[in-house]
Amino acid sequence: MINSIRSTAFCAVLSAVITLPLPGGASGQSNSGAKSRVIVGATVIDGSGRKAFVANVRIVGDRIANVGKFVTRADEEIIQARGLFVAPGFIDIHNHSEGALISDPAVISQVSQGITTLVAARGARGRQPGR
């Protein structure tokens, strides 16, 4: 059970990271000098419709710098992700999370499922602060 929870949380964090734009155009090259980490051996589902593929994901600072098969550098933090998935964040367009947004603005209940965009209070029927 703990491994399942840990895997779910890990995938949610990875999916949140994957939604960040590439710096420096399509090549993802960055000269920021920020800390670099590499997610190694993850199964990537990129949202394009193509089949999932195994790849490494290099993150520099808070940006994705490279996705593919490449060699890690000695100074990079390595995150082993074999058997785990990396995907774009998910959009939840039908939920009842207005109360959670007020009581827990980080909305851990959503982020832990890989949801990075939430459409709430559609039609102004939801709970709102000060109402």
Which helix (H) or strand (E) is 91 found in, with range?
strand 90-92
Average of per-residue pLDDT across 84-101: 85
Residues in the chain: 131
pLDDT value at position 47? 87
What pLDDT digit, counting tens, does each position of 3-52 carry?
444 444 444 445 444 443 433 333 444 445 789 999 999 999 988 999 99
How confident is the model at residue 25, as a pLDDT?
38
Task: Please give the average per-residue pLDDT across 74-101, as a whole number.
Answer: 89
CA-wise closest residue to 36 among 5, 7, 10, 65:
65
> Which residue has better confidence, 12 or 131?
131
Q: Which pLDDT score is estimated for 57?
A: 96
Q: Model confidence at 82, in pLDDT bands (50, 70, 90)?
A: very high
Domain with CATH 2.30.40 in the chain: 2-86
Does domain 2-86 fall under CATH 2.30.40? My reply is yes
| Pair type for strands 53-60 and 63-68 | antiparallel
Q: What is the pLDDT of residue 45?
A: 94
CA atoms of 57 and 26, how far apart (whole Å): 14
- Cβ(18)–Cβ(89) under 8 Å? yes
CB contact at 8 A, 114 and 90: yes
Determine what percent of the chain falls in helix, strand and coil, rounding each to the nearest 5: 25, 25, 50
- Whether the model clears a pTM of 0.75, i.e. scores above it, the answer is no
Least confident stretch, 7-11, 54-58, 85-89, 125-129:
7-11
Please report, rounded to a whole number, the percentage of residues in the chain having pLDDT higher than 70.
67
> Which residues on adjacent β-strands are paired with residue 58?
38, 66
